Amino acid sequence: MLAAVLVAGCFEEAVTPIDDESSGTAGTTSGPSGSITATGPEPTSTMGTTDDPTAGPTTQSTLDGTSTESTGDPLPIACGDGLAAPGELCFEDTTVVMANDATYSARIGDVSGPSSGDLVHLIPDQVVVRVGDGAGNFGPAVFDASVVSQRMELADLDDDGELDLLVGRTAGALDLLLGSGAGSFAMASTVTVGAEPRALAIGDVDGDGSLDAVVGTIDASVHVTLGDGMGGLMALPPFGSLGPVTSLALADLDGDGVLDLALAVDGGARQGVDLRRGLGNGTFGPQEPSIARLPGTRAVAAGDLDGDGSIDLAYVSAASDALGVLWGNERGNPTSETTIGTGSTPSTLVAADFDNDGRPELAVGHADDTTLRVFVIEPERTITEGLSLTLAAPITALAAGDVNDDGVPDLAATSTSAEIVTVVLSTP
């Protein structure tokens, strides 16, 4: 019965923007439907049905982010009741943000205060900050920093409790901009990395308690940059990859307490996903080809997808129009793989727990398909398409974060061609 419950979902009609950024006001609207990706016509959904629409006994989450202990009774699968029942995929209230310029990566995070649900995104020469109200609405665009970049991440790099911004500049540098906590950023440090950084992952790779960054580039090199916890960066000598790096994921694959590196490689001598074991001092061992061999690998994500305690790896292949999952084991050496078809040219992938069942689901966006898809993985390792939403344009980049403070991740999708960011809100 769990399989049927997992593919339940809710959605409503998408909203069209009413404002234009050129007027100096926010180009957003919010209404009784929601999803985080490019603006779109009325979304469609593929959903499963069940004769018994209830989830198993669990701790229930409420819309204000608090939890109460379960009585042991199943929670109902009912979108909009404020209870995030396990297996409940609910997305409503779409907010469309007009950028009036090509939009690259976007991130959701509280950069202007607690529970603000802000949106930060890149246009060709600028970082744009839009302050959220915690309910999925955003204020006017603030053009905060002048950078030429297509890749960024939000994280607390100086250990002050505020989110900072790491930006991989196209010219070949990694910039760290420290967050003020009031919606602005100030340049703190910069280090040289390879040309056209395509991939960026953040984690503590040297075990000192402060976050570091790993950058992959189009010239098939990987650069590790160590953070000192005070806003400083130190670049280690780069190492080569067996092909251009399109995406990176940091995770403890073999359970030794040290972060390992998964690389999506597309071109040169390699196609697919490769591994490098972390050595605990910020360096990594030799590149190990995995069983993932699909060409055109565009994105990789890590998480315990089947709930067995080992980290699995997911990736998308633009050449094969497929999603692949490498099932992990205690040695961190996947020996089996499951694949499922997607829309045309999947190019971006996010792993997050969208249905409150304690395991990540996989959200996939496509470069040549306007459908946002969420794939659900069950403990027996079956993969199903749990939800699909039709957007107005193909998706350039995809991010997850809690915009409306309900404890369930929302999604933000950018579209370079349509010059928009669409935010799709979860509404349990």
User: If the chain, 428 residues long, is cut into consecutive pieces of 10 residues, what is the mean pLDDT of each piece?
Assistant: 34 36 34 28 33 49 46 69 85 83 93 89 93 90 86 95 94 93 94 90 97 93 96 95 93 96 87 95 94 91 96 96 95 92 96 94 95 94 93 92 91 94 90
| pLDDT at residue number 19 | 38
Q: How far apart are CA 219 and CA 425, in angstroms?
A: 37
| pLDDT at residue number 71 | 53
Helices (H) and strands (E) in the chain, counts: 1, 32
CB atoms within 10 A of CB 125: 12
| pLDDT at residue number 77 | 72
Tokens 């794939």 — which residue? Answer: 375
- Shortest CA distance to 265 belongs to which of 289, 284, 283, 234? 289
Q: How far apart are CA 316 and CA 395, in angstroms?
A: 14
Are 136 and 423 in contact by the 8 Å Cβ rule? The answer is yes
- Half-sphere CA count of 426, side-chain side, radius 13 A: 31
| pLDDT at residue number 238 | 95
| pLDDT at residue number 3 | 30
Cα→Cα distances 421→104, 232, 270, 326, Å:
9, 31, 33, 31
Q: Any idea what DSSP says for residue 127?
A: E
| pLDDT at residue number 194 | 84
Q: Any idea what DSSP says for residue 116?
A: -
| pLDDT at residue number 101 | 92
Give me the helices (H) in 41-190, please. Answer: none
| pLDDT at residue number 56 | 53
Q: Could you tell me the pTM of the whole model?
A: 0.84
Q: How far apart are CA 337 and CA 356, in angstroms?
A: 25
Instruction: Check the CA dihedral 142-147-153-156 and report its sign.
Output: negative
**pLDDT tens for each residue of 38-89:** 222 233 333 333 344 555 544 444 444 444 454 556 666 778 888 888 888 9
Question: In the beta sheet, which residues pair with residue 130?
Answer: 119
Q: Is 196 left (phi over 0), alpha (psi -120 to 50) or beta?
A: left
Q: How far apart are CA 426 and CA 34, in angstroms?
A: 7
